[in-house]
Structure 1
Amino acid sequence: MTDVDKLNSPLLAPCFLPGASDEPSRFQGIPGVEVTPGGNRFAVWYGGGDGEGPENYLMVARCTPQLPGEWPVVLRVDHPGREIRCFDAGLWLDPAGNLRLFWSQSRCRETGKDVSDGVNGVWQSVCAAPDAPVLSWSRPERICDGIMLNKPTVAANGDWLLPVSVWGDGTGGGRLPESLRAYSGANLFVSEDGGRSFHRRGLVRVEEGRIFDEHLFVERRDGSLLMLIRTLYGIAEAVSADGGRSWTPPRRSRLRGPGSRFALRRLKSGALLLVNHRCDGPFSPVREKLEACLSDDDGASWTPGMMIDPRTGVSYPDFAQQSDGTILCVYDRDRYGAGEILLAEFTEADLRAGSLPHPPRVIHSLSGRPETAAHQTMNKQEMELVP
């Protein structure tokens, strides 16, 4: 059996389990969010154990129109192997209306040390009817080496553009095999057939201040692709005029940040929405002051920010937009303490007015979890794995 065969072996597929874990956890965060045409809201994050390590698993929560404000965990993705962690997950509603759950897996022997094996791997499972009372998920499938945290982008020609990072040698403690060294960087993987197959198209490697990449793409109105990349100094950018096959050398962006994840997508109106940290003075690595800004000219300029959460310890935003225009933004706070997953709701009009209409609310935390025994029973009935 080749190394590729081993990585794609069914033995490395995780278990899909109903509901939340009963095991004590002292760490959780790194959320994603998506919403369906029927108004079902989904959030995903990972946790388990004392921090990033072999005990990590994913949690997927659903909020239905029938029980607004309730976010029971309906799915847990865990690996039975003692040294394999599930982490860095994302949710995405594809053009056909399927809800895709993406996540990363890696061998990891010890919490907080060597949390990557150097190869990692992007996995997916598909829910073809996310508005159904009972959720059916396809069997987990490994897409490629690397890690993907942010949502794919659909280009004007229908291509799916996936932001997959192959971490640098030693990042997370892992060592890159020789076969992956040429691909270390912020990669673009593409599907030209609606998600049936994926292949690498191009990459950008940041030399100054590179860390986890956590990059994303937007297609601009002139057809070019803009890539933004997380760095130690904030955000780098690169541009492609040929669909991502080649890129300009990465340079420092005018956008700033504390060296953390940010979120960027095009809204239904055509404006770009950026959720990032406000940096008012000299560079600081402190994760605080999460805000949202709009651009009407493909990122050449930005509106004054609307503050979402001014506190320290807030990070890793992701957002989705409902059919009525409401924007759902999730983020985490105090991963090793309260372990809060928060949700802010606002509209584009709120953004332009510069005022968040309602305070964000906690949808899950390590203390005072919202699930009840009734919810746990419901969760077992709501999860089904299909071939």
Structure 2
Amino acid sequence: MTMPIQVPFVRQPAASLMACGFVTGLLSSFASALHAQTVDPETVLGDTTLPFAEQVSQNFPYGITGKTPPSLIKVNFEGQPPYHKHRINLRIFQGCPQVEISEGGRLWATWFGSNVQAERAPYHNDQFSVISTSADGGKTWKEVFVFDPSELLGGGASDPMLWKDPNGSIRFIGLRNIDFKGQDAFASSAWEFTMLDPESEYTAWTEPRLLGNKNISVMKPLIFPDGTVMRSMDDFKLVGKPDKVRIRFLKEDVDGKPIFVSEFPVDNDASFAEQMPIIRKDGSLFTFYRAKKGQKFAESFDGGKTWKLGGYYPMQFSINTKCILKTLPSGRVLLVANDVQVKAEKGKNKYYYTDDNGKECDLEEPKTARTRMTAYLSDDDGKSFTHRLLLCDEGQISYPSAALSKDGSIYIVYDQGRGVIGQHTIFLSKITEQDILAGKLVLGESFLNNIVSRPSDQGGGRREGDKI
């Protein structure tokens, strides 16, 4: 892969157990479909070629367009005035975290937040993304950068991403949203920055690369053995609009050049798809995607060019919320998801889980699909997930992200009660495969639910009477 441009681009502020066979054996009982073609990337992403730096649209603050590049703001550095607008004691809402770990062991996390309101699509006004780091294994954290497009015509940030590329470099993706009144194809645009020194808390960054005008920053890309990359995409503006193709993948070569964009067949049962494929031992691809009654699945047998939909996965989990899949170095498959099931009972939804003895247990509080964040393991390439470890069941828990360290540790972040008084917490758990296999923490270095960020612990957070 080509080396990034080395310039500092920062400015100061102004299981449920499943005994049935593998899903491929169940395809005959599901409605399957095959989308047999790829499409030209530019027809989906738009023309991502940037104007020359001298052109008026690249010079802030005049001539702003959807291609005017964003920047990262350095915060909490020595000498910064203590009253800057991104300080944590002003924050009343935050969530949707991501985590990554450097080659040297420094942890990085990102999430979005707001001092004003809860998340409001499509432009996410008054919303920014925080980048935080830890040099002590997640014990303490420091917020060091912010992605805040508000100075560009009131733009808002949503769905940030951290991931590690095939070279081991950590990249950040910020999704920017500006209301151009329908006059700009890049009103929503995904921009990628690469860290130049991920071992330093105030790393320099490359100039941002424009990835496209779709949401491409929710799920970590899949890296193939040859160094090519597949990114998950979704056109969130089309959620709820029937018969619209919107769930896609972007395949890039080792230099980041688009190879193809592939599409799922239309599935009107899908919501914010949040698909995250893995490569199975036979070379085929498998992914879950978010749907109204749980997770559906899809498979590809040609490297992601075409996809066959398989319907709902037999084990119910993460109902209309995000889960993640990741193949571990051992060959086992990690699934992090909400261990909650739902069924209709007397005209109402009953939320419950199944314990290790197969007994149905009612949820007490909260009665929601977004709790009981759980790590699962599959020994059989995703046919079943027969090992599980409950990570957190304190309140509304959602949106996991995971990163693997060189010593085999698995770092997992998720959010709690994004706008709930006393919560709006980003949690970090550190576990191992041995912990999941045992169903409890067995290694001394493992821990559950360390706090990465909780504004109410630092004089911030939502208070009684705040309407967000």
Instruction: Give the TM-score of the pair, scaled to structure 2.
Output: 0.70
Q: Which runs of 5+ in 2 are unaligned?
A: 1-45, 52-56, 59-63, 77-85, 344-348, 352-367, 461-468
Q: CA deviation digits over 1:37-72, x for unaligned, max 9?
A: 20100000011121122111110101014x862210
Instruction: Return the letter of the residue paired with 1:263.
Output: I
Determine the structure 2 residue equivalent to 1:32: 98
Instruction: State the secondary structure of the residue aligned to 1:305.
Output: strand
Determine the structure 1 residue equivalent to 2:118: 51
Find the aligned partners of 2:435 and 2:172 in 1 and give their Cα distance.
30
Q: CA deviation digits over 1:205-255, x for unaligned, max 9?
A: 452422211111111111111121111111111111111111113521224
Q: CA deviation digits over 1:280-322, x for unaligned, max 9?
A: 4527553111101001211101123210001231100001111
CA contact (8 A) 1:160 1:191 kept: yes
Find the aligned partners of 1:5 and 1:310 in 2 and give their Cα distance.
42
Instruction: State the secondary structure of the residue aligned to 1:150.
Output: coil
Determine the structure 2 residue equivalent to 1:74: 144
CA contact (8 A) 1:224 1:240 kept: yes
* Residues 168 and 14 of structure 1, relative CA distance in 2, 3 Å threshold: closer
CA shift at 1:82, angstroms?
4.0
Deviates more, 1:79-88 or 1:335-344: 79-88
Instruction: State the secondary structure of the residue aligned to 1:360.
Output: strand
Find the aligned partners of 1:81 and 1:239 in 2 and give their Cα distance.
41
Match of 2:107 among 41, 44, 51: 41
Match of 1:123 among 187, 191, 195: 191
CA shift at 1:93, angstroms?
1.1
Aligned residues: 353
* Residues 170 and 289 of structure 1, relative CA distance in 2, 3 Å threshold: closer
Find the aligned partners of 1:304 and 1:5 in 2 and give their Cα distance.
44
Instruction: Return the letter of the residue paired with 2:141.
Output: W
Instruction: State the secondary structure of the residue aligned to 2:104.
Output: coil
Find the aligned partners of 2:253 and 2:264 in 1 and give their Cα distance.
21
* Residues 287 and 200 of structure 1, relative CA distance in 2, 3 Å threshold: same
Tell whether 2:378 aligns with 1:322.
no
Find the aligned partners of 1:219 and 1:327 in 2 and give their Cα distance.
19
CA contact (8 A) 2:99 2:402 kept: yes
Find the aligned partners of 1:345 and 1:205 in 2 and give their Cα distance.
37
Instruction: Return the letter of the residue paired with 1:107.
Output: I
The CA RMSD over aligned residues, in Å, is 2.8
Determine the structure 2 residue equivalent to 1:263: 324
Determine the structure 1 residue equivalent to 2:87: 22
CA contact (8 A) 1:206 1:250 kept: no
Instruction: Return the letter of the residue paired with 1:347.
Output: T
Determine the structure 1 residue equivalent to 2:178: 107
Find the aligned partners of 1:362 and 1:236 in 2 and give their Cα distance.
32
Tell whether 2:322 aligns with 1:237.
no
Determine the structure 1 residue equivalent to 2:355: none
Determine the structure 1 residue equivalent to 2:40: none
CA shift at 1:18, angstroms?
1.2
CA contact (8 A) 2:191 2:209 kept: yes
Determine the structure 2 residue equivalent to 1:144: 212
Instruction: State the secondary structure of the residue aligned to 1:213.
Output: coil
Instruction: Return the letter of the residue paired with 2:70.
Output: P
* Residues 167 and 280 of structure 1, relative CA distance in 2, 3 Å threshold: closer
Match of 1:361 among 425, 450, 454: 450
The structure carrying a bigger strand percent of its residues is: 1
CA contact (8 A) 2:238 2:246 kept: no
Deviates more, 1:248-257 or 1:122-131: 248-257
Instruction: Return the letter of the residue paired with 1:242.
Output: D
Find the aligned partners of 1:199 and 1:104 in 2 and give their Cα distance.
22
Determine the structure 2 residue equivalent to 1:346: 431
CA contact (8 A) 1:27 1:335 kept: yes
Find the aligned partners of 2:95 and 2:143 in 1 and give their Cα distance.
14
Q: Which runs of 5+ in 1 are unaligned?
A: 372-387
Identity of aligned residues (%): 24
CA contact (8 A) 1:118 1:167 kept: no
Instruction: Return the letter of the residue paired with 1:363.
Output: V
CA shift at 1:156, angstroms?
2.7
CA shift at 1:370, angstroms?
10
Find the aligned partners of 1:77 and 1:214 in 2 and give their Cα distance.
22
CA shift at 1:363, angstroms?
1.1
Deviates more, 1:273-282 or 1:217-226: 273-282
CA shift at 1:168, angstroms?
5.0
CA shift at 1:359, angstroms?
3.2
* Residues 7 and 366 of structure 1, relative CA distance in 2, 3 Å threshold: farther
Q: CA deviation digits over 1:320-373, x for unaligned, max 9?
A: 1111111110000010022100001111100100014533111101212499xx
* Residues 358 and 193 of structure 1, relative CA distance in 2, 3 Å threshold: closer
Higher-Rg member (1/2) = 2
Instruction: Return the letter of the residue paired with 1:267.
Output: L
Find the aligned partners of 1:266 and 1:334 in 2 and give their Cα distance.
29
